[in-house]
Each structure stands twice: as structure tokens, then as C-alpha cells.
């Protein structure tokens, strides 16, 4: 063994996952490793480059991993000695999704995947290291302090949600695979595959899979003359077949193919080769599934030019939500993913309006309020927004406001085409009342908070749940500042909001029956939005404002934070957080089933078990109500 390979093996042995391998194995890998010397600021690979045949380990120096979002480069991670990066070729067929560039003179080791793959397949510790890291996109999962051997997944989607999401994302695959018996001739099988335009056929006995023949077998065993075309198919099949359960996820399928070095998985009733065949998953199916991953959807949104294109993407989100819920993905996680996609949709809609109208005459901020402002919009609900533009000279004011009203109207009209219906209360940036200058908005919030009884007709608490969609962050910050400045002195405001939070009747009657609608089109249905979710949403907002908790708008996260801020009542807050997720899940399932916003639950269609679950989720509301009454000593409007 040459001395360079020896040095490389010696270096790798200090870092996971290489430290799971025997030194002889490392030496074997090291003899294939290429040493790459990079000058300062030299790019090793960039976004959309074709995948290399190697992954990389930093020997010395620093590699910066970055993505470009909205034409800004965002640094995701720095890799130092011992860090692994560029693993994408292991897990996917599409191009790189990030750029790797040296920050200073750097040496990296390029480890050929073909040389490393057998060690992954034969060593569960190495596979588990890659598998866990890929699944959770953390650094070294075995080493909580992250001191050595960080593994950087380059599966990018805004936050670290993308690779995790692949653990829940299901696959569409061939439910009617070609099948044949052990004693069919290769010639017949080849004709069958050609006629069906497919590259694989399962060999079955009693409908149990015993082998598979693919185009590769035909090329390597028949076309090369190793076997004559007249032999029976059992002579050339690959056996045993790798089998999986029906609900295998994208990431699990990728990792099984990697582990077993195969290109097809057979789906069976119980996931073993001793049960009935249900379908076949090919590498191509994995590529198609990746096209529906959140990161890809966001990229498609950014490239979209019309409302029609955006609507098609938004329609695919419903499938993502349905799949996630059926796979028991934590709902808080689904909220995060969906709100990122909705955010991208809303942002692109504003951009398209600006492309049409020309550059804005002043800086501005478009804010989503209500459910999207809280990152809780899973289903198509109505759009709520406000538009704030910077202060301009008096003589310019009318022209500037005219432009932004046009922008508001154009944007809300496009959003309606995408599927976000107009707000029935007119809370939208297209409404003159909700499209105004920063000074006017500051006056508006001052009035609401200091004299809430006088103009309560237009005070909606949703104005205190907002998220910037497009524009100047400083404008949003100015609104936050004015709210928290007023919080210090406004007892009246808390009286008003407190009573507002308590205004809805209890969801259950004295006899613990559901309060249902007594008349109208939703007669006998349970209004889960008004009677169950709104009291929790209002309560979380009320306490966060009073404890001056800034920057958290999501109801679940608000309750989690309150349990830390006000530990004396932590149990109530944590119970409310769980209740919120359970109730949201009921609403989402109802909405997906009926293609609406899921507000009214048909109790007749719930199982006894689900009714109990729903009742139990309503229990913490009584404690929350009592806490509101005692903390705010409601007197003013009671």
C-alpha cells in the first residue's frame, strides 16, 4: 500500500462513519480516493451540476455549502476537517441542489461511491449513520455534541424539513406488474416485456415473488452470449427479490435500493416474499416522487408565470397533506411544510403583479394576517392580508396609494384564481381601509389598543397574527414595536381581547353533548373552527401579548413557549397545545374529505372512538377559560 493511501486511511479512521470500518477495509477504500486541492474561493460543484461519482471529506481548510434563494446566496453550512458533504449521488438521481466552494486553500478527499457502496451494504453501522443523518438532516446523530464527523445532507428546502419529509412521502408505483413463472423461456419473457414497454418482470410461484428479471439481466446475460435465448427464465433471474410493505416512503425505498444495490423493489401484502405481490417500485418511480417534494414545488412556484400554473402546484399540496396525515407525520411538521409552500405561492403572486404593474413607487410590506400569518393554513381558506407602504410626501400620497391599491386588487384577484377565496369581511390589501401608509397603520393600531371599545366594530384580533410575504422587514418590525409599546399600558385592550376570547359558547352542553348548529345548511354539524379552535387561537394570542412574547405567531408554538414563560401554568398550556393539534387534524381530514375548509364536522360520520378523542381535546379549554378570567379580572366589558 502506498504511503499516501496509508495517510488517507489513517485520517479517515478518526471520523464517523469510517471509524466503523476495519483498517483493511479503509485501506481498500483509500487506495481509490482522489486528492483534490482547491484554491481559495474555488467551486467544487454548484447548483444544477450533474452529480459526481464521488462524495467528499474535508482533509484541511473550509468548504462553504450554500444555496441561492431569491438571487441571494445563503450559507447553509461550513465543513471543516473530517466533515462529509456532497452525499447527494448516494440518495438521488437529480442534480446537485447546493454549491460547495472553498473558503480558503482546501484539500478534500473524493471517495468514489462505487468503491464505498459495498461497505455500506455490508456494514449496518455505516448504513445507519447515513440513514439517520439523511432522515433528520442533523450532523452526526451518534455524537450529540457535534464535535467530529458532521454529515451534511445536501437535501435543501428552506429549513431542514426536506429530507425529513421524504421519510413520510409516499410513492406512486406500478400496481399491475408483469409476472411470469419459473419455467417460461427467456424469449417469451423478452417479447412480453417489449409488448408492455416495461423493463422488468417478476417471477412468481403461487403469486409469491421468487425472482426478478430486468433489462440489465437481458443485456448482461443474454446479449453477451452467456446464456442462449432458449433457456428458462429461472437461469437468469436475480433472486431473492427485495420486498417492502405498501406504505414504504420515498427515503426508505431509496435506502433499501442503496443497501441491496438493486433498481427495483417488490411490494407485497406483508412486506415479505412469502405473501401476495401488490406492485413493483422502480428507480424511475423514486425520481417522479421527488418531483412532488416540497423543495421542488417551491422551485416550480418561483418559475411560474401564470395563475393557472400556480393553481396546479397548489392542488398538488393537498396530496402532500393527505399523505403526511395518513403516515402520522406530526401535524406541527405538516403546518411548517405547507406554510412554506403557501408563502412561496403568495410571494410569487405579488411578484407577478409587480411585473405587470411596474416597479412600486415606494417601499412597502405585504403581510398575511390570520391563519397564514399563524402558519396554520393547511386547507384552502379565505385570504386575509394588509398592505403597508412607507410614508411619502403629501403631494405624492394619492398616486402612491393608487398604485398599491391596484397592486392589492391584482394580487387578490390572482389569489382567488389559485383557490384562495376573498375574505368575506374584506380584510385584504385590495381594500382601501387595509392599504395605507405606515403612519396611518401606526395610528390604527394605537386606536385599537388604547380605545378598543370605541371602534370595536373594525377591530379583529387577526390583525395581531401576521407574517411578511413580500417587501421591507423594517416595516413589519415597526408594527411589532408599536404593538408591544402599547401592551405595556393597555388594560382596556386586554379586557377587550379577553372577553373576545371568551365570547364563544362552550363546545359541549351541560350533559357533555356537542353543541351543534340548530338550523341552516350545516344543521346538526359541529362548528370546529368557532367553537373549538378559535378559543385556543384567541387564548394563545392573548397570553403571548400579555407576556410580551414576540416573533411567535403559530398557536401550537405559542402554547409551547407560554409553558416556558409562565411555568406555573405549564400543564394547561401544554394540554392546549396538544388539543390544538388534535382539533386541527379533525378539521383537516374533514376538509380533505369534502374538498372544503373543514369547518363543520359531521358527527354522524365519526366513529365512537373519534368522538371520544374529539371530546377529550375540548377538555383543556375549560382550564384556559378559567385562567383568562383570573389573570385579566375581566370587568370592563363583562
As beta bridge partners, residue 37 has 107
Residue 486 lies in a domain: no
pLDDT on residue 539: 92
Residue 485 lies in a domain: no
Residue 141 lies in a domain: yes
Dist. CA 171–CA 292, nearest whole Å: 10
Helices (H) and strands (E) in the chain, counts: 23, 20
Q: pTM of the entire structure? A: 0.60
Residue 453 lies in a domain: no
Residues 6+ apart with CB under 8 A from 534: 504
Q: Judging by beta carbons within 10 Å of its beta carbon (0-12, 13-18, 19+), is residue 342 exposed, middle or buried?
A: buried
Dist. CA 590–CA 348, nearest whole Å: 29
Dist. CA 601–CA 616, nearest whole Å: 16
Q: Based on the domain organization, do 18 and 144 belong to the same domain?
A: yes
Count of the separate structural domains present in the chain: 4
Q: Judging by beta carbons within 10 Å of its beta carbon (0-12, 13-18, 19+), is residue 406 exposed, middle or buried?
A: middle
Residue ending a domain, choose from 255, 287, 319 = 287
Dist. CA 365–CA 479, nearest whole Å: 11
Is residue 237 within 8 A of residue 214, CB to CB? The reply is no
Q: Based on the domain organization, do 113 and 215 belong to the same domain?
A: no
pLDDT on residue 253: 83
pLDDT on residue 160: 35
SS3 595: coil
Order of strands across the sheet that contains 179-180:
179-180, 200-205, 208-214
Residue 260 lies in a domain: yes
Q: Based on the domain organization, do 299 and 435 belong to the same domain?
A: yes
Backbone angles phi, psi at 361, to 5 degrees: -80, -10
CATH for 404 = 3.30.460.10
Q: Based on the domain organization, do 279 and 343 belong to the same domain?
A: no
Dist. CA 92–CA 110, nearest whole Å: 18
Is residue 126 within 8 A of residue 255, CB to CB? The reply is no
Dist. CA 442–CA 445, nearest whole Å: 5
Residue 235 lies in a domain: yes
pLDDT on residue 290: 65
| Angle, CA 64 vertex, CA 58 and CA 67 arms, to 5° | 130
Checking phi first, is residue 83 left (phi over 0); if not, alpha (psi -120 to 50) or beta?
beta
Q: Which residue has the cell 485520517?
A: 11
Peptide bond into 17 cis (omega under 30): yes
| Angle, CA 470 vertex, CA 358 and CA 356 arms, to 5° | 20
Backbone angles phi, psi at 60, to 5 degrees: -155, 155
CATH for 36 = 2.60.120.10
- Please give the span between the terminal C-alpha atoms of the chain, in angstroms, as a whole number: 86
Rg (CA), the chain: 29
Q: Based on the domain organization, do 127 and 32 belong to the same domain?
A: yes
Element of type H or E holding 296 = helix 294-303
Give me the count of residues in the chain: 638
Domain that holds residue 30: 3-155
Half-sphere exposure of 160 (CA within 13 A, CB side): 11
Peptide bond into 22 cis (omega under 30): no
Dist. CA 86–CA 44, nearest whole Å: 10
pLDDT on residue 135: 41
Share of the chain above pLDDT 90, in %: 39
Residue 420 lies in a domain: yes
Dist. CA 633–CA 546, nearest whole Å: 13
pLDDT on residue 245: 86
Residues 6+ apart with CB under 8 A from 551: 480
Q: Based on the domain organization, do 345 and 394 belong to the same domain?
A: yes
As beta bridge partners, residue 34 has 110
Q: Based on the domain organization, do 192 and 92 belong to the same domain?
A: no
Dist. CA 373–CA 366, nearest whole Å: 11
Q: Based on the domain organization, do 331 and 259 belong to the same domain?
A: no
If one counts every other C-beta atom within 10 angstroms of the C-beta of residue 396, the result is 11
Residue 302 lies in a domain: yes
Q: Based on the domain organization, do 280 and 371 belong to the same domain?
A: no
Dist. CA 559–CA 370, nearest whole Å: 17
- Ordered alpha helix ranges (H), 358-424: 394-418
Instruction: Provide the sign of the torsion angle of the four alpha carbons 559, 560, 565, 567, taken in this order.
Output: positive
Q: Based on the domain organization, do 278 and 303 belong to the same domain?
A: no
Residue ending a domain, choose from 265, 287, 309 = 287
Low-confidence ranges of the chain (pLDDT < 50): 70, 133-165, 167, 456-457, 636-638
Name the DSSP class of 551. S
Give me the torsion for CA of 90, 92, 95, 97, rounded to 10°.
-90
Q: Based on the domain organization, do 100 and 185 belong to the same domain?
A: no
Is residue 151 within 8 A of residue 18, CB to CB? The reply is no
Q: Based on the domain organization, do 276 and 301 belong to the same domain?
A: no
Instruction: Provide the sign of the torsion angle of the four alpha carbons 225, 228, 229, 232, taken in this order.
Output: negative
Residue ending a domain, choose from 93, 120, 155 = 155
Backbone angles phi, psi at 67, to 5 degrees: -125, 160
Element of type H or E holding 209 = strand 208-214
Q: Judging by beta carbons within 10 Å of its beta carbon (0-12, 13-18, 19+), is residue 394 exposed, middle or buried?
A: exposed
Is residue 345 within 8 A of residue 314, CB to CB? The reply is yes
Q: Which residue has the cell 386606536?
A: 447
pLDDT on residue 159: 31
- Residue whose C-alpha is closest to residue 508's, from 620, 584, 608: 620
Dist. CA 98–CA 163, nearest whole Å: 14
Dist. CA 198–CA 202, nearest whole Å: 11
Amino acid at each position: 500500500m502506498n504511503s499516501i493511501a496509508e495517510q488517507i486511511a489513517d485520517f479517515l479512521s478518526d471520523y464517523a462513519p469510517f471509524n466503523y470500518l476495519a483498517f483493511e477495509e479503509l485501506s481498500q477504500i483509500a487506495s481509490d480516493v482522489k486528492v483534490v486541492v482547491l484554491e481559495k474561493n474555488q467551486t467544487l460543484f454548484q447548483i444544477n451540476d450533474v452529480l459526481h461519482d464521488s462524495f467528499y471529506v474535508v482533509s484541511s481548510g473550509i468548504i462553504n455549502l450554500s444555496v441561492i434563494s431569491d438571487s441571494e446566496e445563503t450559507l447553509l453550512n461550513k465543513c471543516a476537517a473530517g466533515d462529509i458533504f456532497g452525499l447527494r449521488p448516494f440518495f438521488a438521481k437529480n442534480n446537485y441542489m447546493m454549491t460547495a466552494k472553498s473558503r480558503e486553500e482546501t484539500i478534500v478527499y473524493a471517495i468514489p461511491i462505487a468503491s464505498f457502496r459495498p461497505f455500506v451494504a455490508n456494514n449496518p453501522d455505516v448504513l445507519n449513520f447515513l440513514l439517520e443523518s439523511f432522515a433528520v438532516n442533523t450532523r452526526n446523530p451518534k455524537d450529540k455534541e457535534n464535535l467530529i464527523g458532521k454529515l451534511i445532507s445536501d437535501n435543501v428546502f428552506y429549513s431542514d424539513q426536506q429530507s425529513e419529509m421524504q421519510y413520510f412521502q409516499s410513492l406512486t408505483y406500478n400496481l399491475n406488474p408483469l409476472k411470469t413463472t419459473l419455467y417460461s423461456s427467456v424469449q417469451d419473457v423478452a417479447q412480453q416485456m417489449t409488448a408492455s414497454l416495461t423493463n422488468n418482470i417478476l417471477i412468481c410461484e403461487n403469486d409469491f415473488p421468487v425472482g426478478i428479471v430486468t433489462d440489465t439481466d437481458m443485456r448482461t446475460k443474454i446479449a453477451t452470449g452467456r446464456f442462449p435465448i432458449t433457456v428458462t427464465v429461472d437461469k437468469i433471474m436475480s433472486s431473492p427479490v427485495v420486498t417492502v410493505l405498501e406504505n414504504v416512503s420515498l427515503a426508505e425505498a431509496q435506502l433499501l435500493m442503496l443497501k441491496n444495490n438493486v433498481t427495483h423493489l417488490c411490494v407485497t401484502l406483508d412486506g415479505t416474499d412469502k405473501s401476495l405481490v401488490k406492485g413493483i417500485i422502480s428507480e424511475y418511480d423514486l425520481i417522479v416522487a421527488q418531483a412532488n417534494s416540497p423543495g421542488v414545488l417551491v422551485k416550480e412556484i418561483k418559475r411560474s408565470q401564470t395563475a393557472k400554473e400556480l393553481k396546479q402546484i397548489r392542488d398538488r399540496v393537498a396530496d402532500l397533506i393527505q399523505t403526511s396525515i395518513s403516515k402520522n407525520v406530526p401535524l406541527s411538521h405538516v403546518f411548517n411544510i405547507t406554510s412554506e409552500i403557501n408563502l412561496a405561492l403568495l410571494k410569487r403572486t405579488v411578484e407577478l403583479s409587480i411585473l405587470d404593474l411596474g416597479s412600486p413607487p415606494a417601499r412597502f410590506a405585504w403581510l398575511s394576517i390570520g391563519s397564514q400569518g399563524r402558519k396554520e393554513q393547511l386547507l384552502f381558506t379565505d385570504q386575509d392580508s394588509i398592505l403597508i407602504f412607507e410614508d411619502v410626501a403629501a403631494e405624492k400620497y394619492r398616486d402612491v396609494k393608487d398604485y398599491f391599491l391596484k397592486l392589492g386588487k391584482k394580487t387578490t384577484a390572482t389569489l382567488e384564481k389559485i383557490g384562495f377565496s376573498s375574505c368575506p369581511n374584506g380584510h385584504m390589501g385590495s381594500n382601501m381601509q387595509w392599504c395605507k401608509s405606515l403612519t396611518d397603520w401606526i395610528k390604527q393600531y394605537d386606536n385599537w389598543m388604547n380605545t378598543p371599545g370605541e371602534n370595536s366594530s373594525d377591530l379583529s384580533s387577526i390583525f395581531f397574527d401576521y407574517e411578511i410575504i413580500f417587501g421591507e422587514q423594517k416595516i413589519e418590525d415597526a408594527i411589532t414595536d408599536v404593538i408591544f409599546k402599547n401592551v405595556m399600558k393597555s388594560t382596556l385592550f386586554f379586557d377587550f381581547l379577553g372577553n373576545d376570547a371568551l365570547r364563544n359558547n362552550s363546545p359541549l352542553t351541560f350533559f357533555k353533548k356537542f353543541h351543534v348548529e340548530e338550523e341552516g345548511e350545516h344543521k346538526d354539524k359541529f362548528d370546529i373552527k368557532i367553537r373549538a379552535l378559535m378559543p385556543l387561537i384567541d387564548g394563545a394570542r392573548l397570553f403571548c401579548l400579555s407576556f410580551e412574547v414576540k416573533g411567535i405567531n403559530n398557536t401550537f408554538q405559542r402554547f409551547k413557549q407560554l409553558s416556558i414563560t409562565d411555568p406555573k401554568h405549564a400543564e394547561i398550556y401544554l394540554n392546549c397545545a396538544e388539543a390544538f393539534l388534535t382539533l386541527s387534524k379533525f378539521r383537516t381530514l374533514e376538509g380533505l374529505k369534502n374538498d372544503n375548509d373543514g369547518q363543520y364536522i359531521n358527527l354522524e360520520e365519526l366513529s365512537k372512538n373519534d368522538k371520544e378523542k374529539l371530546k377529550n381535546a375540548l377538555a383543556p379549554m375549560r382550564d384556559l377559560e378559567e385562567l383568562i378570567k383570573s389573570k385579566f379580572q375581566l370587568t370592563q366589558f363583562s
